[in-house]
Amino acid sequence: MGSCCWKNFLYYLRNVLPSQYWVEQACAFQLAMFSMKKSASRIAILGSGNIGIALAKGLVKAAIFEPAQITLTRRNSAALASLAQEGYLTSNDNLVAVDQADIVVLAVLPQQLNKVLEGIKGFVKPDSHLIISVISGVSCADIRKELGVEVPVVRAMPNTAISIGQSMTCVASDCASEEQMKLVEELFDTVGSTIRINEELMTSATALCACGIAFFLRSIRAASQGGTEIGFHAHDALRMAAQTAKGAADLLLQLASHPEQEIDKVTSPKGCTIAGLNEMEHNGFSSAMIKGIKLSAEKAGTLYKES
């Protein structure tokens, strides 16, 4: 081999090969980090309706779980056929699902809860299970009492905007560890925003955040009807009202502002905005909203007891 070839060969050994080696090592490291991001746990969602399915899809989209790590249960498991095709495990057997899971999400109706808990009693292990309940009006203590074991329970109250990844979810517990609380917050952060509150405020959270979706939707509907009355086609009025509501919410969230501060920017002396606002207030706009939220909170606190 000529001297030129030797020089080229030595240059490759000293420069090109080492750089390729480190590139390969960097890629391997990134792959390892990505794999670590995925949870090694298994999760069972008992009562896979809109909330449960949206949570499952959020976890997969965020790459925290693979579909095969999530078991979705429903009395009519045939309704979950499309999700089974996507790789999720589906079943109508809660007991088997719980036995194979580390995290159990209770997502049934309050009146169905005791029957579900009776069915899995004896298979819930305090040292290896974490229970997450999204059921209104049911305390952590209520769930432990029905299960008959001192298992960690975290309550979470999302709303239907979970289906588009925009839920406001409140979480609370009376005995979960800090690590467990952070885990639950991480799970629900995949489908919106979370805030940690005291457990005694969970029924209030139901009224403000879960029921609140309907209250704000009704406000948007009323605004769109007003728009129709002043000349817009219904579909245009609805789009205009919805986008205006979204813009108002984003002003508060992105600027960390207060509603009255933003209202002051729109109202001027003897202007049309203050005239409209005062007319609404004279007819009980704010009062009606406050009274509705208070009544919903009272009702939310009795749903489980009435069942």
Report the b/e string of 111-142 with b at 16+ CB within 10 A: eebbebbeebeebbeeeebbbbbbbbbbbbeb
Same domain, 287 and 230: yes
**pLDDT value of residue 241:** 98
**pLDDT value of residue 36:** 33
**pLDDT value of residue 31:** 37
Same domain, 133 and 158: yes
Q: How far apart are CA 102 and CA 128, in angstroms?
A: 6
Please check whether residue 205 lies inside any domain of the structure: no
pTM of the predicted structure, to 2 decimals: 0.81
Structure tokens of 147? 């299960």
DSSP string spanning 207-235?
IIIITHHHHHHHHHHHHHHHHHHTT--HH
Please check whether residue 207 lies inside any domain of the structure: no
Nearest Cα neighbor of 244 from 261, 271, 211, 266 is 266
Please check whether residue 206 lies inside any domain of the structure: no
Same domain, 93 and 23: no
Tell me the CATH number at 49. 3.40.50.720
Could you read off the pLDDT of 109-136 as tens digits, one per residue?
988 999 999 999 989 999 999 999 999 9
**pLDDT value of residue 30:** 38
Q: How many CB atoms lie within 10 A of CB 299?
A: 16
Same domain, 50 and 31: no
Same domain, 31 and 119: no
**pLDDT value of residue 184:** 96
- Specify the DSSP element, H or E, that contains 168: strand 167-173
Q: How far apart are CA 154 and CA 168, in angstroms?
A: 16
Tell me the CATH number at 294. 1.10.3730.10
Q: How many domains does the chain have?
A: 3
Q: What is the largest CA-CA distance in the chain?
A: 98
Q: Which domain holds residue 12?
A: 1-37
Same domain, 19 and 94: no
Q: How far apart are CA 212 and CA 159, in angstroms?
A: 8
**pLDDT value of residue 34:** 35
Same domain, 254 and 128: no
Please check whether residue 14 lies inside any domain of the structure: yes
Please check whether residue 75 lies inside any domain of the structure: yes
Same domain, 8 and 50: no
Same domain, 195 and 102: yes
What is the C-alpha radius of gyration for the chain, rounded to an integer number of angstroms? 26
Could you read off the pLDDT of 6-27 as tens digits, one per residue?
455 445 545 655 555 443 444 4
Please check whether residue 300 lies inside any domain of the structure: yes
**pLDDT value of residue 77:** 87
Same domain, 115 and 256: no
**pLDDT value of residue 14:** 56
Same domain, 115 and 252: no
Q: How many CB atoms lie within 10 A of CB 213?
A: 16
Please check whether residue 273 lies inside any domain of the structure: yes
For the beta sheet containing 167-173, the strands, ordered from the edge strand earlier in sequence to the opposite edge, are: 89-91, 70-73, 43-46, 103-106, 130-133, 153-157, 167-173, 192-196
Under-70 pLDDT residues of the chain:
1-40, 306-307
Same domain, 55 and 180: yes
Question: Contact, 307 vs 110, CB < 8 A?
Answer: yes
Pick from 156, 179, 200: which residue ends a domain? 200
